[in-house]
C-alpha cells in the first residue's frame, strides 16, 4: 500500500480517493444541444429542462443561445415547434372532465353531483394561457387572424381616380380611325 502523508501526519491509502466531482454539463456539444431542443419541441419549458439533473443550468442554456448561432437557430425552431405540443396539451386539459364535478353527501344519505366551478375556471385559465402562449410561439399558425378592410377611393400614381382611369381606357383604348389613321388599339383589333 502506498501511503501519502498530509500536513497532519495522517496518510490515505491509494485505493481511497475522494469522490469525483460530478455536476451539470457546462460545455456545449451538438448532441446535448440537440437533446435540449428535442425536449423543448416536445413542450418542455427551458426552466423545466434546466431542473433536470442531466441538463445544464438555465443560465448555461441561454449562454449557449447567445454564443452559438447554430444552437440559437435550432433552439428557436424548437420553440416554434413546441407550440404544437402546447396546443395538444390544451386538448388534454379541455377533454379531461374527471374533476368537473364533486360528490356531496347530504345528511339524509343522498349524494348530489355538484359542478366544481373552481376546477372548471382553473381549467379555462390553463387552456387560455396555453392558447395565448402558442400564439406567441408560432404566430403564423396560432396567432390572431387580422382582416384589413379598405373603404374609399383608390388613386393611381398619375393622380387619376379609378373611375377616371376607366373612362380614359374606354375612350382611348377602343379601336378608332381618325382622319384615315388607325390607332394602336385598332391595329391590335385588326390582327385578331
Task: Give tens-digit pLDDT for 65-115.
Answer: 999 999 999 999 999 999 888 888 888 888 888 888 888 888 888 888 888
- For residue 11, is it within any domain? no
- Taking residue 77's Cβ as centre, other Cβ atoms within 10 Å add up to 13
Segments forming the whole domain that contains residue 111? 23-142
- Tell whether the model's pLDDT for residue 1 goes beyond 50: no
- For residue 184, is it within any domain? no
Query: What one-character DSSP code corresponds to residue 134?
Result: H
**CATH, residue 111:** 1.10.10.60
- For residue 171, is it within any domain? no
- For residue 60, is it within any domain? yes
- For residue 27, is it within any domain? yes
- For residue 158, is it within any domain? no
137-171 pLDDT tens trace: 888 888 887 777 778 776 656 555 777 777 767 76
**Rounded Cα–Cα distance for residues 112 and 96 (Å):** 20
**Rounded Cα–Cα distance for residues 93 and 134 (Å):** 15
What is the domain count for the chain?
Answer: 1
List the grid coordinates of 126: 390553463
- For residue 105, is it within any domain? yes
Q: What's the pTM?
A: 0.52
Amino acid at each position: 500500500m502506498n501511503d501519502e502523508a498530509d500536513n497532519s501526519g495522517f496518510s490515505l491509502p491509494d485505493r481511497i480517493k475522494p469522490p469525483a466531482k460530478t455536476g451539470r454539463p457546462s460545455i456545449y456539444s451538438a448532441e446535448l444541444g440537440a437533446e435540449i431542443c428535442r425536449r423543448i419541441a416536445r413542450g418542455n419549458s427551458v426552466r423545466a429542462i434546466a431542473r433536470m439533473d442531466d441538463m445544464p443550468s438555465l443560465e448555461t442554456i441561454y449562454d449557449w443561445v447567445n454564443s452559438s448561432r447554430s444552437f440559437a437557430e435550432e433552439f428557436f425552431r424548437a420553440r416554434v415547434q413546441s407550440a404544437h405540443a402546447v396546443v395538444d396539451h390544451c386538448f388534454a386539459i379541455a377533454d379531461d372532465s374527471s374533476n368537473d364535478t364533486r360528490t356531496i353527501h347530504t345528511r339524509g344519505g343522498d349524494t348530489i353531483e355538484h359542478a366544481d366551478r373552481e376546477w372548471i375556471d382553473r381549467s379555462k385559465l390553463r387552456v387560455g394561457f396555453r392558447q395565448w402562449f402558442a400564439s406567441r410561439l408560432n404566430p403564423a399558425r396560432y396567432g390572431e387572424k387580422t382582416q384589413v378592410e379598405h373603404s374609399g377611393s383608390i388613386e393611381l400614381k398619375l393622380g387619376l381616380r379609378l373611375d377616371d382611369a376607366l373612362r380614359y381606357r374606354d375612350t382611348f383604348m377602343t379601336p378608332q380611325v381618325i382622319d384615315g389613321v388607325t390607332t394602336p388599339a385598332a391595329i391590335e383589333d385588326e390582327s385578331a
